[in-house]
Amino acid sequence: MNLRFDVIWEQAPAFATGLWNTVWICVVGTAIAFLLGIVLVLPLVSRAKFVRLPAKALVEGARAIPFLMLAYLVYYGLPSLGVTLDSWQTAVLVTALYNAAYVAEILRAAWVNLPRGQTEAARSCGFTGFKLLRRIILPQVLVTAAPVLGNQLIQLIRDSSFLAIITVPELTFTAKAVQSDAFVPFESFITAALLYWAVCLVAESGVKRLEFARNLYARY
């Protein structure tokens, strides 16, 4: 077997660009998903059924759709409705919408497990409405949910490889392009796999730090 990693070295700038595009999409998509998740969690924890049930149906429905199918629907389906998005716009929109549902559910689970005594004590001290949410509830929810949100980011990094199907020039798309041009399929895809692994290791390290910080916070 004659492996040609010299070709991969020559294509290092292309792989670096693909890796950067992957990280950029994941970071931007996660940031938007986080904001949408905070908005969605409010009706999810509402006591009013007419508010909670539609929100729950929306979140559960979004979580049931495969990431690749959602990408197909947005990129190829929306043009038939008169809405056309390029591959970059589709990538950001899909990653944001898909992960917003998961973020909302993660935040909901953290919210319902908060000690009720703390919220009641805050209300007795005059915290109500948005002030209660911003100063008391959300900080605790975010601390509790942080490690799980980190794991969701790792899953998003893996899912982002599907975006190659809609011609987003991310890491998998780059590996496919290099192997097509230079006929080095094994070398191209093993390089992409190692780069995904490296990014996930960095993200996993961040998750472990978040878990340590959460446990430290819980002690005090």
Contacts of 220 (CB under 8 A, 6+ apart): none
The answer to whether 96 and 36 are in contact (CB under 8 A) is yes
Report the pLDDT averaged over residues 19-41. 94
Which one, of 75, 79, 82, lies nearest residue 97 by Cα?
75
What is the per-residue pLDDT for 208? Answer: 82
The per-residue pLDDT of the chain, averaged, comes to 88
In which domain, by residue range, is 145 found?
5-219
User: Alpha-carbon distance 148 to 106, whole Å?
Assistant: 7
User: Alpha-carbon distance 34 to 171, whole Å?
Assistant: 24
Half-sphere exposure of 14 (CA within 13 A, CB side): 18
As for how many domains the chain has, the answer is 1
What percentage of the chain carries pLDDT values higher than 90? 64
What is the per-residue pLDDT for 214? Answer: 67
User: Alpha-carbon distance 62 to 26, whole Å?
Assistant: 18
For residue 117, is pLDDT > 80? Answer: no
CATH number of the domain bearing residue 93: 1.10.3720.10
Which tokens sit at 208? 């472990």
What is the per-residue pLDDT for 213? Answer: 72
Question: What is the per-residue pLDDT across 121-147, written as a single tens digit (0 to 9) for each?
Answer: 667 776 666 777 777 788 888 888 888
Alpha helices in the chain (DSSP H): 5-10, 12-44, 49-64, 67-72, 87-112, 116-124, 129-132, 138-159, 171-182, 185-219
Report the pLDDT averaged over residues 10-25. 95
What is the per-residue pLDDT for 201? Answer: 94
Q: How confident is the model at residue 12 (pLDDT cuts 50, 70, 90)?
A: very high
Higher pLDDT, 156 or 210: 156
Half-sphere exposure of 69 (CA within 13 A, CB side): 6
